[in-house]
Amino acid sequence: MPKAQETILEINLGALEHNYHYLRSKLKPNTKFLAVVKAFAYGSDAENIALKLQELGVDYFAVAYVREGVALRDAGITKPILVLHPQTINFDTLIERYLEPSIYSPKILNEFLATAKKHGQKNYPVHLKFNTGLNRLGFWENDVEFIAEKLNGRNEIKITSIFSHLAASEDLNEKNFTQKQIETFEKIAQEVDKKLGYAPFRHLLNTSGIINYTNAQYDMVRSGIGLYGYGNEAKVDAELRPVASLKTIISQIHKIEPGETVGYNRAYTSKGYHVTATLPLGHADGIGRQYGNEKTHVSVNGKEAPIIGNVCMDMIMIDITNIDCEEGDEVLIFGPELSATKFAETADTISYEILTGISQRIKRTLIE
């Protein structure tokens, strides 16, 4: 692999392929696979990730917002795209680009029906989202009656699938709660089939659901974080390969004397003769200030170097005393050898947040 010469987010499509096959291996052959590529494919590169996954044969894609779906269509994605959290102002665009909305409330249902009618649509594919305990988005169990009555005698839309989302699929201490969510979903699904008079396909599981509750895979699963190489537990992480590596270089090296300070507000004071390196990335790139002040380290030529002082907008400083390195050398922020989960944990957060926060100004580089 060529060494980085500026800050780059390296995207390993071979790792993506590996993760896809691993997750698929947990499923029955007929279970459909939806790849969640919202938020720039978890901060990586939505277009190139989705094109690769389309080539690998995924059945469905999901994004959060309509704009994200439009970008995928522009990039040549022809598979169905579920929009998890569409806003009514974008319903015209959604229909024009043949994106499939998640319909999660009576208000959204009414407004989508009106838009579908205005566009002269028949059997437009939509997906009903039910709340089974996350209490975030979704119809309630007792909305099924209302939905069935609303759709009775109309054909602008067709309920393609029904789904729900687990609140704690990665937490086995919450097994009872999750089982209850599964049972509630099952009950809702049966009622939907009965009241609608046809059976939309069903989906419930995210990545940790695939790992911990395969019995509830229904007709499709929705995986995001697993595709990008993180499994919310060490055992699963060991089977997956991180897709994104954040790399940078040493811009400048300084030798500082005891008592000298480094960075804004003089947050770091040197206790001895130290050597520091300045790196070209900062909080505007997604490495927040919470990673500063020696809470977190990066890797320089295989050695740990703590981030010292306050993280700046476009720069961070690290301590490289006793590390054999020079200006221009590559520095690894996270990647296969330094997991994003571990990096995120130093600031009390999760892989999802550090990955999705990597700014669009950082260059994405694809490798196989």
Ligand X SMILES: *Cc1c(COP(=O)(O)O)cnc(C)c1O
Length of the chain: 368
Which residue is catalytic, options 26, 79, 195, 264?
264
The answer to whether 126 and 112 are in contact (CB under 8 A) is: yes
Using only C-alpha atoms, the chain has a radius of gyration, in whole angstroms, of 24
Beta bridge partner(s), residue 304 = 299
- Please give the residue whose beta carbon sits closest to ligand X in the complex: 224
Which residues form the interface with ligand X (CB under 6 A)? 36, 84, 165, 206-207, 222-226
Whose Cβ is closer to ligand X: residue 240's or residue 312's? 240
CB of 174 to ligand X, least distance (A): 15
Render 61-79 in DSSP notation, one character per residue. EEESSHHHHHHHHHTT--S
CB of 226 to ligand X, least distance (A): 6
CB of 358 to ligand X, least distance (A): 16
Which residue is catalytic, options 32, 38, 52, 247?
38
* CA 254 – CA 317 distance, rounded (Å): 10
Place of tokens 């071979």: 14
Say which amino acid occupies 308: I
Whose Cβ is closer to ligand X: residue 36's or residue 83's? 36
Whose Cβ is closer to ligand X: residue 207's or residue 299's? 207
CA atoms within 13 A on the CB side of 275: 12
The b/e string for 44-58 (b: 16+ C-beta within 10 A; e otherwise) is bbbbbbbbbbbeeeb
Whose Cβ is closer to ligand X: residue 41's or residue 317's? 41
CB of 224 to ligand X, least distance (A): 3
**Closest residue by Cα to residue 333 from 274, 279, 277, 264:** 279
* CA 307 – CA 278 distance, rounded (Å): 10
Whose Cβ is closer to ligand X: residue 114's or residue 134's? 134
Whose Cβ is closer to ligand X: residue 84's or residue 315's? 84
β-strands 316-319, 303-308 pairing: antiparallel
Question: Taking the mean position of all CA atoms in its chain, how far away is CA 269?
Answer: 38
129 tagged catalytic: no
CB of 168 to ligand X, least distance (A): 11
* CA 99 – CA 97 distance, rounded (Å): 6
* CA 272 – CA 156 distance, rounded (Å): 73
The answer to whether 260 and 267 are in contact (CB under 8 A) is: no
264 tagged catalytic: yes
**Closest residue by Cα to residue 259 from 251, 267, 269, 244:** 269
CB of 23 to ligand X, least distance (A): 9
* CA 257 – CA 221 distance, rounded (Å): 57
CB of 229 to ligand X, least distance (A): 11
* CA 261 – CA 193 distance, rounded (Å): 68
Place of tokens 């407004």: 111
Whose Cβ is closer to ligand X: residue 192's or residue 312's? 192
Catalytic residue numbers, as ranges: 38, 264
